[in-house]
Structure 1
Amino acid sequence: MTRRNDKSNPRLAELIRLLKQTSRENEVEIWSDIASRLEKSRKNYAEVNVSKINRYAQEGETLIVPGKVLGSGVVEAGVTVAALSFSDAAISKITKAKGHCISIEQLLSQNPKGSRTRILR
């Protein structure tokens, strides 16, 4: 017997649907990749500390985290980070470094082509 993989969180279900639709309309693989990651079990979601963002991001870059951004570490580059959720410490550290914290939905509406964005997991 197969188990249903429907998400009970309406925001998440709508986000997955929107990501797939945008991917088809714009023929962009990055959105379908994010959707497939979010369709999996929550225990498989990415949990990224700001120290990892600091290690791999460059000034002015846009990153997508298909999960939660946590506040452990220091971030020095002013980057835009789109994620499913952020801890309070992560938000304060990213904004203190002249960066921006936005939701994946906001990034999707601002940049439907997904150009110049990277997935960080």
Structure 2
Amino acid sequence: MKRGPESKPTQELAVFLEKASKKNGAPIWMAVAEKISGPRRRRVTVNIGKIGKIVNGGETILVPGKLLSGGVISKPVTIASFSASKAAVDKLAKAGGKYLTLRKLVEANPKGSKVVIIQ
């Protein structure tokens, strides 16, 4: 028997992502919905330093979990995640980057083009 998240906001976000995937023909949103619908103990955590090492700058990064503030980032990137620590958002802003929620990213880029998922 499959059980989904018990948190109401998480359920609503997963349904929103699934509908956006079907409406826009973008399988990326369905993949993210499946990731956040899984058990909380398996949810991804990514340090901002890992993103700083991987990206070139000017890219849109999606973290299907929590963004943490470990490490240094010096490139201006747009990062969207399920949740983020306040320190991570502050570090990103100092580097000239931008933080979005998953819902805002879907509204800004319904097709999910040029979005990179980092786990």
What TM-score comes out, normalization by structure 1 length? 0.94
Q: Given the alignment, which residue of 86, 100, 115 partners 1:117?
A: 115
- What is the CA distance between 1:8 and its match in structure 2? 2.0
User: RMSD of the TM alignment (CA)?
Assistant: 1.0
Give CA-to-partner distance per residue, 1:14-44, whole Å, 9 cap, x none. Answer: 1100111111111111001001111110111
Instruction: Name the amino acid aligned to 1:29.
Output: P
Deviating 4+ runs (over 3 angstroms): none
Q: Given the alignment, which residue of 7, 13, 19 partners 2:17?
A: 19
The number of residues matched between the two structures is 119
Q: Given the alignment, which residue of 26, 30, 33 partners 1:32?
A: 30
3-state SS, counterpart of residue 111 of structure 2:
coil
Instruction: Name the amino acid aligned to 1:36.
Output: E
Aligned equivalents of 2:56, 2:30: Cα separation in 1: 24
Aligned equivalents of 1:112, 1:12: Cα separation in 2: 19
Q: What's the % identity of the aligned pairs?
A: 34
> Counterpart in 2 of 1:62?
60
2:87 paired with 1:89: yes
Give CA-to-partner distance per residue, 1:87-119, whole Å, 9 cap, x none. Answer: 111011100000011100110111110011010
Give CA-to-partner distance per residue, 1:25-84, whole Å, 9 cap, x none. Answer: 111110010011111101111100011110111211001100000001000110000001
Unaligned runs of 5+ in 1: none
